[in-house]
Structure 1
Amino acid sequence: MKKLFYLIVGCISLVIGVAGIVLPIVPTTPLLLLAGFCFARSSKKFDVWLRNSKIYDFYVADYAETKSIAKERKKKMIWQIYLLMGISIYFAPLLPIKFMLVVLTVFITYYLFKVIPDK
């Protein structure tokens, strides 16, 4: 029963995390970390599959293994974030939502460059 619970939570977090690649408000990396945590406790097959996937390697592997991200990788990530957040801010229908998206973008930038150490 416990393994089934972890498998279901892992699959859900994987799907939402993958959606977060194109949806700027959905956090991709934490959800992929959660999926890895759940798969490690539920299914060796899913755990190996996730760790060998390009998505895991691109978004999670550095941080999961070293608790740091290379500076060049951070620069690539921030441009993607700025592009997607810029599109979201442009199309947001209400001024308070636009403001909240700008604040979120500033927070993400701060967290990425000041809280997460460079590799």
Structure 2
Amino acid sequence: MARDVHEHRNPAIRYALLTLGWLSVALGVIGIFLPVLPTTPFLLLAAACFVRSSRSFYLWLIHHRQLGPWIRDYLEGQGIPLKAKVYSIALMWLSIGLSCYLVALPWARLFMLSSAVLVTLYILRQKTLPKR
């Protein structure tokens, strides 16, 4: 990974970025088990926070045995595995469909469906990682 780590000079900003980074890691890990939460965007946010706040945490995250390959592949422009695309889109639409069924507020349904469409388009536009 040839990405330079530029830690912010202001300690308050550095600690805020560290806090946001760890919160993002926690939400990303929860997202592995809870289909309503996306995993990859939170892990990418964590990497962006760590790259500006802590070289050691950034390197830990991108070299993590389970989480690292997804982040590295995305950051290096190699793409997202087809299985991950299918799994992400299917689970997202399943959870959004169930949520729309349970929530009777039209504005909330519109927001959830709009979000699902935009996230689906984003995922589909990403390069598909070739099988190794």
What TM-score, normalized by structure 2, do the two folds share? Answer: 0.66
* Superposition map of 1:47-66 within 5 A: 47-51=58-62, 52-58=64-70, 60-66=71-77
**Which stretches in structure 2 are left out of the alignment for 5+ residues?**
1-10
Query: Residues 9-66 of structure 1: CA distance to partner in whole angstroms, max 9, x if unpaired?
Result: 3123333444555363x554233212112223322332233220524545x3431222
Q: Distance in 1 between matches of 2:102 and 2:108?
A: 10
Q: Distance in 2 between matches of 1:98 and 1:45?
A: 42
Aligned length: 116
Which has more helix, going by share of residues? Answer: 1
Q: Which residue of the partner structure matches residue 42 of structure 1? A: 53
- Pairwise CA RMSD of aligned residues? 2.6
Does structure 1 residue 108 correspond to structure 2 residue 127?
no
Q: Which residue of the partner structure matches residue 82 of structure 2? A: 71
**Percent of residue pairs identical:** 32
SS of 1:37 mapped into structure 2: helix
Query: CA 1:34/1:112 → structure 2, altered by over 3 Å: closer, same or farther?
Result: same
* Superposition map of 1:85-104 within 5 A: 85-104=96-115
Q: Distance in 1 between matches of 2:74 and 2:111?
A: 27
Q: Distance in 2 between matches of 1:88 and 1:47?
A: 35
**Which has the larger Rg?**
2
Q: Distance in 2 between matches of 1:10 and 1:33?
A: 9
What TM-score, normalized by structure 1, do the two folds share? Answer: 0.72
**Which stretches in structure 1 are left out of the alignment for 5+ residues?**
none
Runs ≥4 residues deviating over 6 A: none
